[in-house]
Chain A
Amino acid sequence: MLIETKGLKKIYSIDGSETPAVNGINLEIKEGEFVAIIGPSGSGKSTLLQILGCLDRPTGGEYFFDGKEIEKYSDDELAHLRNKKFGFVFQSFNLLGRLSVLENVELPLIYAGIPELKRREMAVKVIGSVGLSDRVDFETMRLSGGQKQRVAIARALVNEPRIIFADEPTGNLDSKSGEIILEFFEKLHEDGHTIVLVTHETYLAESAERIIYLKDGLIEREEIVNHKSFRENKFSK
Chain B
Amino acid sequence: MKFRDNLKMSYSGLTTHMSRSVLTILGIVIGITAIIIVMSLGQSAQNLIVGEIQSMGPETIVVLPGKQPKGLSDVGGSIFGDSLKERDFKDLSKKENVPDAVNVGPVVFSQINSSYGSETYDTMILGVSPSMFKTFGLEVNPPGTLFGSNDVNEKSSVVILGNKAQTELFGNSDSIGEKIKIKGKNFKVIGVLIKKGQSSFVNFDDHIIAPYTTVQDLSGLKYFNRIAVTAKSVEAIPSVIKDIELVLRTNHKIDDPKNDDFYIQTQEDLVKSISSITDILTIFLGSVAAISLVVGGIGIMNIMFVSVTERTREIGLRKALGATNKNILVQFLTEAVILTVTGGVIGIIFGTGLTALTVVVLNKFAGINFSFSFPIDGALLGLFVSSAVGFIFGIFPARKASLKSPIEALRYE
A residues lining the B interface (CB < 8 Å): 50, 53, 55-56, 75-76, 79-80, 82-84, 88, 90, 94, 96, 98-99, 107-108, 110-113, 115-116, 155, 159
Asked if B317 and A76 make an inter-chain contact with CB atoms under 8 angstroms apart, the answer reads no
Sort A-B residue pairs by CB-CB distance and give the 10 closest, nearest first.
Answer: A83-B322, A111-B322, A56-B407, A79-B324, A55-B407, A108-B321, A55-B406, A94-B317, A76-B324, A110-B5
Pair A111/B12 contact, Cβ less than 8 Å: no
B410, A94: Cβ atoms under 8 Å? yes
A50–B406 alpha-carbon span in the complex (Å): 10
Q: How many angstroms between the C-alpha atoms of A99 and B11 in the bound complex? A: 12
Residues of B within 8 A of A116 (CB): 5
| Additional 9 contacts, C-beta under 8 A, given A55-B406, A75-B325 | A50-B407, A55-B319, A79-B325, A82-B319, A82-B322, A83-B322, A84-B322, A108-B321, A111-B322
Q: Which of B1, B313, B321 has the most CB of A within 10 A?
A: B321
Closest beta carbon of chain B to A45's beta carbon, Å: 14
Q: Quick one: given A82-B321, A83-B322, are A111 and B1 in contact (CB under 8 Å)?
A: yes
The prevalent SS among residues of B at the interface is helix
Structural contact, A113 and B2, CB atoms closer than 8 A: yes
B317 touches A55 (CB 8 A): no
User: Would you give the shortest CB distance from A126 to chain B, in whole angstroms?
Assistant: 14
Q: Which of B38-77 contact A (CB under 8 A)?
A: none
Minimum distance in angstroms from A110 CB to a CB of chain B: 5
B residues 241-258 touching A (CB-CB < 8 Å): none
The residues of A that contact B153 with a CB separation of less than 8 Å are none
Does chain A have a CB within 8 A of B405? yes
B16 at the interface (CB under 8 A from A): yes
- A55 with B324: CB separation less than 8 A: no
**A156 CB, min distance to chain B CBs, angstroms:** 9
**Cα distance, A108 to B320, chains bound together (Å):** 9
Which residues of B, 123-140, contact A by the 8 Å Cβ criterion? none
User: Assuming A55-B407, A75-B325, A99-B12, is B319 touching A94 (CB within 8 A)?
Assistant: no
Q: Give the interface size bracket for B toward A.
A: 20 to 34
Could you name 19 residue pairs across A and B whose Cβ atoms are closer than 8 Å?
A50-B407, A55-B320, A55-B407, A76-B325, A79-B322, A82-B319, A82-B406, A83-B321, A84-B322, A90-B410, A96-B317, A108-B321, A110-B2, A111-B321, A111-B322, A111-B324, A113-B2, A115-B2, A116-B5
The reply to whether A111 and B320 contact each other, CB–CB distance below 8 Å, is no
Report chain A residues within 8 Å CB of B314. Answer: 96
**Chain B positions 306 through 329: 1 when the CB is less than 8 Å from some CB of chain A, otherwise 0:** 000000011001111111111100
Complex contacts, A159 vs chain B, CB 8 Å = 322
By beta carbon, the residue of chain B nearest A82 is B322
Q: CA A6 – CA B313 in complex, angstroms? A: 31
CA distance A80 to B1 in the complex (A): 12
Report the minimal beta-carbon distance from B335 to chain A, rounded to whole angstroms: 15
- Closest chain-A Cβ to B3's Cβ sits at a distance in Å of 11
Contact, CB under 8 Å: B321 / A107:
yes
**Which B residues between 313 and 349 are near A, CB-CB below 8 angstroms?**
313-314, 317-327
**Residue from B16, B322, B324, B407 within 8 A of A108 (CB atoms):** B322
CA gap between A48 and B2 in the complex, in Å: 34
A76–B1 CA distance with the chains assembled, in angstroms: 13
B405→A98 contact, CB < 8 A: no
Q: State A50–B409 Cα separation when bound (angstroms).
A: 13
Q: Which of A82, A90, A98, A113 has the most CB of B within 10 A?
A: A82
Contact with A along B377-413 (1 / 0, CB 8 A): 0000000000000000000000000000111001000
Most buried by B among A94, A98, A110: A110
Give the complex CA separation of A36 and B375 in angstroms: 68
- Expressed in whole angstroms, the minimum distance between the Cβ of B373 and any Cβ of chain A is 41
- Nearest to A57 among chain B residues (CB) is B405
B266 to chain A, nearest CB (A): 67
